[in-house]
């Protein structure tokens, strides 16, 4: 019976401070419903992972998961990858979220064989957690603007080049169109991660995957907004497929 159960996919979320009124401030864990819908449509059961849990609580939660999705959001603190001086180029930094995802990845990557999928900030956090660095701001580094907010989130805005023979190439088949809402990207890839896609126009890194047998894949765009396209939905279906293997 257990092997027939849908895989449980943990999804990290944003941590926000909101002023409800002059005397009423609240902190919220938030997540776009697009991630939840994508995981459900792919055959998994989504579980939102709150921020601020201690290591023991995160490990207990991660132990129960079958797969992990690191979602998009604000910038990773540049102090985590040795670029404190460039903090002014960043926005949306939140220590609680950074620490939660770092501790979660540390446990999942080193003590389990659970599949991991990163999206946008999730790609960046994965790279940092594994020892890589980021470009803090693409325009400041002489790259094209990649925060293409003039396009609706569910519309394609540029093309990528995908490495032949990669897992990503197998998943996307002939699809090479993506959306784009980021101003940061990978600078130096982490050890153990292989670059498998670039922006076609300026060769900004758009995807990485694990170079060994472990299923780790991350993309710089937002496929959760593109699941009407079967090739982008396939990214979530692959995560669920790999998570199902982990349960057996």
* pLDDT 10s digits, 162-183: 999 999 999 999 999 999 989 9
Residue 246 has pLDDT above 60, yes or no: no
Helix runs in the chain, H state only = 33-41, 55-64, 95-111, 121-129, 167-172, 230-247
Catalytic residue, from 90, 120, 206, 225: name it.
120
User: Cα 235–241–245 angle (5° rounding)?
Assistant: 145
Q: Answer yes or no: are the C-beta atoms of 27 and 15 closer than 8 Å.
A: yes
In whole angstroms, give the CA distance from residue 88 to residue 200: 28
Q: Answer yes or no: are the C-beta atoms of 118 and 125 closer than 8 Å.
A: yes
Summarised one tens digit per residue, pLDDT across range 213-239 is 899 999 999 999 999 999 999 999 999
Summarised one tens digit per residue, pLDDT across range 29-41 is 999 999 999 999 9
Catalytic residue, from 94, 146, 158, 222: name it.
222
Is 224 assigned a catalytic role? yes
Give the model's pLDDT for residue 152.
Answer: 85
Is 13 assigned a catalytic role? no
Q: What is the mean pLDDT of residues 142-153?
A: 84
User: Coil, strand, or helix at residue 241?
Assistant: helix
In whole angstroms, give the CA distance from residue 21 to residue 39: 35
Query: Which residue ranges make up each domain of the chain?
Result: 2-247
DSSP strand pairing (205-210 vs 67-70): unpaired
**Which candidate, 144, 138, 134, places its Cα nearest to that of 201?**
144
Give the model's pLDDT for residue 20.
Answer: 63
Give the model's pLDDT for residue 47.
Answer: 97
Catalytic residue, from 101, 209, 224, 237: name it.
224
Is 90 assigned a catalytic role? no
* Domain 2-247 is found in CATH 3.30.565.10: no
Q: What is the mean pLDDT of residues 55-67?
A: 96
Query: Residue 150 — very low, low, confident or very high, per pLDDT cuts 50/70/90?
Result: confident
Structure-model confidence comparison of residues 41 and 141, the more confident one: 41
Residue 24 has pLDDT above 80, yes or no: no
Query: Which strand (E) or helix (H) includes residue 207?
Result: strand 205-210
């Amino acid at each position: 019976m257990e092997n027939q159960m849908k895989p449980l996919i943990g999804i990290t979320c944003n941590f926000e401070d909101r002023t409800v009124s002059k005397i009423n401030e609240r902190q919220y864990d938030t997540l776009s419903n697009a991630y939840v819908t994508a995981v459900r449509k792919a055959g998994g059961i989504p579980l939102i992972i709150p921020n601020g849990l201690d290591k023991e609580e995160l490990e207990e939660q991660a132990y129960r998961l079958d797969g992990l999705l690191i979602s998009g959001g604000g910038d990773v603190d540049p102090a985590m990858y040795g670029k404190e001086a460039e903090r002014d180029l960043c926005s949306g930094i939140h220590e609680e979220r950074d620490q939660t995802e770092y501790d979660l990845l540390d446990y999942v990557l080193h003590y389990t064989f659970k599949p991991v999928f990163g999206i946008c900030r999730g790609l960046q956090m994965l790279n940092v957690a594994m020892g890589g660095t980021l470009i803090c701001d693409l325009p400041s580094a002489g790259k094209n603007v990649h925060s293409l907010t003039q396009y609706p989130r569910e519309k394609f805005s540029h093309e990528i080049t995908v490495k032949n023979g990669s897992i990503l190439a197998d998943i996307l088949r002939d699809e090479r169109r993506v959306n784009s809402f980021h101003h940061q990207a990978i600078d130096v890839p982490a050890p153990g991660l292989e670059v498998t896609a670039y922006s076609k126009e300026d060769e900004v890194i758009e995807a990485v995957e694990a170079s060994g047998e472990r299923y780790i894949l991350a993309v710089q765009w937002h496929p959760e907004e593109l699941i009407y396209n079967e090739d982008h939905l396939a990214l979530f279906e692959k995560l669920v497929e790999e998570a199902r293997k982990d349960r057996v």
